[in-house]
Every structure is written in C-alpha cells, then in structure tokens.
Structure 1
Amino acid sequence: MKALRRLSRHRTALGLGGLSLCAAVLLYLAKCTSEGLRPLPAAPALPHSQPGRGARAAPPAAPEGSALLAVVVMSGPKYSERRSIIRSTWMAAARQAPHGHVWSRFVVGTAGLGAEELRSLELEQSRHRDLLLLPELRDSYENLTAKVLATYVWLDAHLDFQFALKADDDTFVRLDVLVEELRAKEPRRLYWGFFSGRGRVKSGGKWKESAWLLCDYYLPYALGGGYVISADLVHYLRLSRDYLNLWQSEDVSLGVWLAPIDVKRVHDPRFDTEYKSRGCNNKYIVTHKQSIEDMLEKHQTLAKEGKLCKEEVKLRLSYMYDWGVPPSQCCQRKDGIP
C-alpha cells in the first residue's frame, strides 16, 4: 500500500511539473491592479549552485520511516530553550498519537558554526534525536527560503508521509486537532493555511524583496507561521528545485512556486499565523508569535480545562479569503471570524 501511495505521489508530481509558470504569472498579472506598477531593477543572475537545494543523490530504495504528518519546525543553533519548551508542550502530543501518525524534527543549519556550538547541538541530538541538521546551510534569515526548500528535498527523499506541517519555533500547534482533520483529507494537492493576496511587496527591512518582478502585490500565499502541504507537492518541489527562484520570504516563495499548480488552497482562520498574533481563540489550531510563557500557559490550560485559552482575547480582526475577486481585494477584516 505504501509503495502504491508513493507511486501515486510521483505520478501526480510529474504531472504537476509539466505546467507552465509563465502562464500562471501572466494570468495573475491580468488580475493585479495597475496602481503603482513601475519597472523594478533587474534580478541578479542566479549562481550555478544555491545553498539548500540539496545533493543530487538518488532517494533511498525504501523510506526510513512513515507518518501521516511530518512536522518540521524551523529553528536556529542558539534557540535550544525554544526547542525544549516545544518538546514539553505541544510536540509531546506527537508521542501520544497512534504510532505512525506524527513524525517531527527541528531544522537547523550548521555551516559556519564554531566547535562549541556544534558540540552543543551534537549533545542535544544525542539526548533527543529530533534535530534535522543541514551541514551545507548557514542558518540566517537570508537563507530561510533555501532552508525550507532543503527541508522539503530531504523529506521527500527519506520519509513516507502524506502531509507536511511547516512551523516556526515560536509557533504553538494543536496536533491532536490537526491530525484528526488530516485523517479525513485526501493527501493530494493540498495547500492549507491562512492566506494573503494583498500583501504589498516590501521595499525595506528584513523582508525586502530587491529581485521581485512579478507584480506590485505578492502572489497569494499561506502565511509562514504555520501551513500544511500534501506530500505530492513536496515531491514536486524536490523535482523542480533547480528551477525555483528563492525570494527573501519563504512563505511568499512557496506561494509563487505553487502558483501554476492545480492545488486546493484552503484558507482557514484557525491558523493564527500572521506577523503578530490575533489573540487567543479556543478554535485556533496553529498560533504564531508565542513566547515560552505563552506556550506553557496554553499547554497547561489544555491539560487542565481541555481548551486553549484561559480567557479568549481578540487583538485584531480576522478575515475569510474571497477567491471570487482580484487578490488585492481578497481580505476584508470583519468581526465574528476567529
């Protein structure tokens, strides 16, 4: 059965790979507003080999493991305390799930680290066996897109899974709810999260996109605090990795990479994954921008009261994505939405 599922994934991904990115971009540009459109500087030439695209080794004859859900948490060498609190809070649910349902790793780039930092990571790995170390990648925000792509390349080559959740190490996840809902979903062409289609292209700060030439808005994408994609899309990304442009923001990049693909985009306000949290709502599945104290409180409240929040708090309004209008008009914040 596993072999048939992996064969189906490969056939689907190969079909996806034949679609034209140019056609999708032209269709999107036709929907973009003309306001503010102006020529941008030419993109710098891509180097022959970019960090994080992965080695050319063939995948193993058999996967090293299997899971319904692969959870990959982007972390950094110095964030051991964040990893520790995640292990003892929401990630603990992975150990309680039925065998084979959840596989999880913290992803860390190790290129350029000193001997002491490497020893610390080796000790952590010997204790927990839950680090995915990328020795060819220097861990930095500038390399985050390459890091996420390298993670997907590794997953597709080493694990038999149906869905992948990408999260950050300041994200809190209701794994129990997520797994239960994924069991009822078809593991095919799924792109699930909290989408934005009206994001203005950043011209400054750490999100600055100096090589963006597609439109005056970002293409629709699921915000990077946490999103789920099906395994066939991960396989498509691995096959296409040498042709993918790497923009500054990994979530924006994924939105572009999947733009020409016939995927099922599912906008879900239960993913609180924007650049700052909308508050606490008992319906939330994924909550971004959480401190260590926030995670501990949510975990304790779940254990004692069976709900996420001691008290529900709304800090900003949410929205339902309107797929029937141009992306720049997609997202009107309203009351009454989680």
Structure 2
Amino acid sequence: MNLTPVCHVTLQVQNLTAAHVMKCDDDTFVRVDVVLRHIKMNSLGKPLYMGNLNLLHRPLRTGKWAVTEEEWPEDIYPPYANGPGYVISGSIAKFVVSQHANQSLRLFKMEDVSMGLWVEKFNYTMPVRYSHSWKFCQYGCLENYYTAHYQSPRQMLCLWDKLVRGRPSCCNYR
C-alpha cells in the first residue's frame, strides 16, 4: 500500500500511481504509520474518503469563513473532511484530474468543501467509503492523534522526537 502525501495538490498530475493521496496543511504533523493502518482497515476495496468529516454543515454567513448566498445558495455543504489533513483514493484523485481537464468541476473558495463536492460527484458513479475519525485533529493535538494541526516547527520537532522514541504524544508549547 502506498500513500502520497501532498501539501498542495496541483491538478496537472497525469500519471498517478499511488493507491491513496493525503492532502495536508504545512502546519499539520502526520503520523503516517497510523494513517496507513487506518486506510488498510477502512478501504475495504472501495474508493476511500477519510478524515475528520463534517456532515450537514451549514455555510457560515458571517466571520472569517463567511460565504455569501451568491457563493453558496444551498443550505448545507456536502459531507467534507476538514482541510488540515485528509485522504482520498487514487481513483478519486484521477476522477478530479479528468473532471478538471474537461472543465467539469464546480469550484469553490474553500478547498476542503470543494473536495467534498468532487467526492460526492464521484460517489454517483462509484460508491465511496466515507471514514470519519476525530483523530484527524482539526484544532491542535489530541492523544492518539493521526494528525495534529496548528503545530509550530518546534512542536513538530517535539512530536517527531516522541514518535521515534515510541511514545507518540502531544507537545503543548509553541
């Protein structure tokens, strides 16, 4: 099983051979070992969309993540994984690339919601296994994490040090 971690996916990829692709922010620490185990346990031979999933999430109309009625007229978003870190199957990634080439993708200003849209569209052609876990941490770090978000370089070094010593746990300083 192979996993291709990417921080910024470009839609110019033509020859994707990875079984799965992981998108992560540059301030996200990833425990690749447990993510790979989680993939193996949850893919079950189906295309996989895995992360900290939001279901029936409504667009915010005020604040930092505000979305206007013109930008998103629907009442809810499709199921989508929070942006700091999520995994899609290679088949979903290839679908997104082909849809982009055909100019058939609906684009939205939030990449995580966009991916949810595209996975939902793929799901109409082939059933997707949606896999949710809080261990793909949206805010900071939780014990037994798969990903830890908003990590400074110093925290990442600490997380790595603890991981290689066999005691993966959070580092709560900046």
Which structure has more helix as a fraction of its residues? 1
After TM superposition, the structure 1 = structure 2 runs for residues 232-271 of structure 1, keeping only pairs within 5 Å, are: 232-241=91-100, 242-260=103-121, 261=123, 262-271=127-136
After TM superposition, the structure 1 = structure 2 runs for residues 115-264 of structure 1, keeping only pairs within 5 Å, are: 148=9, 151=10, 153-155=11-13, 157-183=14-40, 185-186=43-44, 188-210=46-68, 211-215=71-75, 217-241=76-100, 242-260=103-121, 261=123, 262-264=127-129
2:156 corresponds in structure 1 to: 295
The residue matched to 1:70 in structure 2 has which SS?
strand
Give the Å deviation of 1:307. 2.0
Question: Is the 8 Å Cα contact of residues 207 and 248 (structure 1) preserved in structure 2?
Answer: no
Letter in 1 for 2:89: S
After TM superposition, the structure 1 = structure 2 runs for residues 13-92 of structure 1, keeping only pairs within 5 Å, are: 68-74=2-8
Question: Is the 8 Å Cα contact of residues 191 and 230 (structure 1) preserved in structure 2?
Answer: yes
Q: Which has the larger radius of gyration?
A: 1
Cα distance in 2 for partners of 1:187, 1:296 equals: 35
Question: Is the 8 Å Cα contact of residues 16 and 94 (structure 2) preserved in structure 1?
Answer: no
1:83 corresponds in structure 2 to: none
Give the Å deviation of 1:180. 3.6
From 164, 169, 172, the counterpart of 1:309: 169
Q: Say if 1:280 and 1:207 are closer, same or farther in 2 by CA, change over 3 A.
A: same
Cα distance in 1 for partners of 2:16, 2:95 equals: 15
Letter in 2 for 1:219: P
TM-score by length of 2: 0.82
Letter in 1 for 2:134: P
Q: Say if 1:298 and 1:190 are closer, same or farther in 2 by CA, change over 3 A.
A: same
Question: Is the 8 Å Cα contact of residues 163 and 187 (structure 1) preserved in structure 2?
Answer: no
The residue matched to 1:158 in structure 2 has which SS?
coil
Cα distance in 2 for partners of 1:310, 1:246 equals: 35
Unaligned runs of 5+ in 2: none
Question: Is the 8 Å Cα contact of residues 71 and 165 (structure 1) preserved in structure 2?
Answer: yes
The residue matched to 1:271 in structure 2 has which SS?
coil
Give the Å deviation of 1:188. 3.4
Question: Is the 8 Å Cα contact of residues 193 and 226 (structure 1) preserved in structure 2?
Answer: yes
- How many percent identity over aligned positions? 32
TM-score by length of 1: 0.44
Cα distance in 1 for partners of 2:142, 2:158 equals: 11
Unaligned runs of 5+ in 1: 1-66, 75-147, 314-338
Cα distance in 2 for partners of 1:266, 1:183 equals: 12
Cα distance in 1 for partners of 2:67, 2:48 equals: 27
Cα distance in 2 for partners of 1:154, 1:71 equals: 16
Q: Say if 1:180 and 1:197 are closer, same or farther in 2 by CA, change over 3 A.
A: closer
Letter in 2 for 1:213: P
Give the Å deviation of 1:164. 0.3
Cα distance in 1 for partners of 2:92, 2:44 equals: 13
The residue matched to 1:166 in structure 2 has which SS?
strand
Cα distance in 1 for partners of 2:108, 2:134 equals: 26
Structure ranking higher on relative contact order (CA contacts 8 Å, 6+ apart): 2
